[in-house]
């Protein structure tokens, strides 16, 4: 029976995630890192023997695809055609931006150190120092939620923290009609579906140069990329868009087009076709 493997986390991402775990001491981190290295060699040998490998995201594909039989790249996300931003919504957002209204930033996800949530408020402070009028709505929960909540008073209502909301019935409509830019502070290179989903909602995307977002930004020719961990640089990307609203609108439109080309049904159908090929079926 043909076997098809699936992979999405690179060794680098797994090690980075391990070392960001506050519950692990130094000795356990070192021990588990050594185990990851040994496991990587065994996994590479396994991948060479299977009928095919499906890679979720660019980093894993770039790291392992060479020399494999039937490597396949896909971009996992939850966006169906019905969830994509509509032409009317794009026009409404563009008109508002061209009129000079304050930038509306949004962030959603787990509020954890490994997700970079500790940089959200510093980015807003840097934006204020640059003279950029912007708001930020944060949706999510996690170990950093209390710290973020404690820092909200300094922003006079310009930053708001919300709990997790349903993706399809709440987050998507909010993103499509009440936001302009998705602010990602994610430092890991895992293939987060957030990028494509935000683009599908018609949002311009700005984030750190992890291997996933840097490559996706280049492939889609949309968004902005800042050096890893450089809060000021991330704020400067947003400030550039604040000055050049036409570039911001164009980036959102280009990103939406790319997201439409990689919606869930398209990616799913391509994966099924790959499985049929691996099984020797038409």
- Say yes or no: 127 and 139 in one domain: yes
What are the angstrom distances between the C-alpha of 39 and each of 7, 9, 57, 58, 60? 14, 13, 21, 21, 15
Q: How many domains does the chain have?
A: 2
Q: What is the pLDDT of residue 282?
A: 63
How many Å from the N-terminal Cα to the C-terminal Cα in the chain?
A: 16
- Say yes or no: 103 and 232 in one domain: yes
Please report, in tens digits, the pLDDT of each residue of the chain (282 residues total): 899 999 999 888 888 888 878 888 999 999 999 998 888 888 999 999 999 999 999 999 999 999 999 999 999 999 999 999 999 999 999 999 999 999 999 999 999 998 999 999 999 999 999 999 999 999 999 999 999 999 999 999 999 999 999 999 999 999 999 999 999 999 999 999 999 999 999 999 999 999 999 999 999 999 999 999 999 999 999 999 999 999 999 999 999 999 999 999 999 999 999 999 999 976
What residues make up the domain containing 53?
4-75+264-278
- Say yes or no: 47 and 91 in one domain: no
Q: What CATH number has the domain bearing residue 174?
A: 3.40.50.2000
HSE, side-chain direction, 13 A CA sphere, residue 59: 18
- Say yes or no: 139 and 59 in one domain: no
- Say yes or no: 56 and 110 in one domain: no
How many Cβ atoms are within 10 Å of 229's Cβ, its own excluded?
A: 13
* pLDDT tens by residue, 17-69: 888 788 889 999 999 999 988 888 889 999 999 999 999 999 999 999 999 99
Q: What is the pLDDT of residue 217?
A: 99
> Using CA atoms, how far apart are residues 117 and 97, in angstroms rounded to an integer?
26
Q: What is the pLDDT of residue 14?
A: 84
- Say yes or no: 212 and 251 in one domain: yes
- Say yes or no: 162 and 90 in one domain: yes
- Say yes or no: 45 and 152 in one domain: no
> Using CA atoms, how far apart are residues 272 and 275, in angstroms rounded to an integer?
5
- Say yes or no: 167 and 64 in one domain: no
């Amino acid at each position: 029976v043909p076997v098809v493997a699936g992979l999405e986390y690179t060794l680098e991402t797994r090690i980075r995630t391990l070392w960001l775990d506050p519950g692990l001491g130094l000795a356990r981190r070192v021990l588990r890192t050594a185990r990851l290295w040994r496991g990587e060699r065994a996994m590479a040998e396994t991948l060479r023997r299977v009928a095919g490998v499906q890679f979720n995201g660019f980093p894993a594909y770039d790291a392992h695809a060479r020399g494999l039989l039937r490597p396949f790249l896909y971009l996992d996300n939850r966006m169906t055609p019905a969830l994509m931003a509509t032409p009317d919504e794009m026009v409404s957002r563009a008109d508002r931006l061209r009129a000079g209204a304050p930038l509306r930033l949004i962030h959603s996800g787990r509020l954890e150190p490994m997700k970079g949530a500790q940089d959200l408020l510093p980015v807003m402070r840097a934006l204020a120092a640059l003279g950029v009028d912007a708001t930020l709505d944060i949706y999510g929960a996690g170990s950093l939620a209390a710290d973020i909540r404690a820092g909200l008073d300094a922003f006079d209502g310009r930053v708001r923290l919300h709990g997790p909301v349903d993706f399809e019935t709440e987050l998507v409509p909010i993103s499509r009609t009440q936001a302009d830019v998705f602010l990602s502070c994610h430092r890991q290179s895992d293939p987060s579906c957030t990028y494509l989903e935000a683009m599908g909602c018609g949002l311009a995307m700005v984030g750190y140069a992890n291997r996933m977002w840097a490559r996706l930004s280049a492939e889609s020719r949309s968004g902005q990329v800042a050096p890893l961990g450089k809060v000021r640089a991330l704020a400067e990307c947003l400030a550039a868009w604040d000055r050049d609203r036409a570039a911001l609108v164009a980036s959102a439109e280009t990103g939406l087009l790319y997201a439409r080309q990689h919606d869930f049904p398209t990616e799913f159908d391509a994966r099924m076709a790959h499985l049929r090929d691996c099984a020797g079926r038409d």
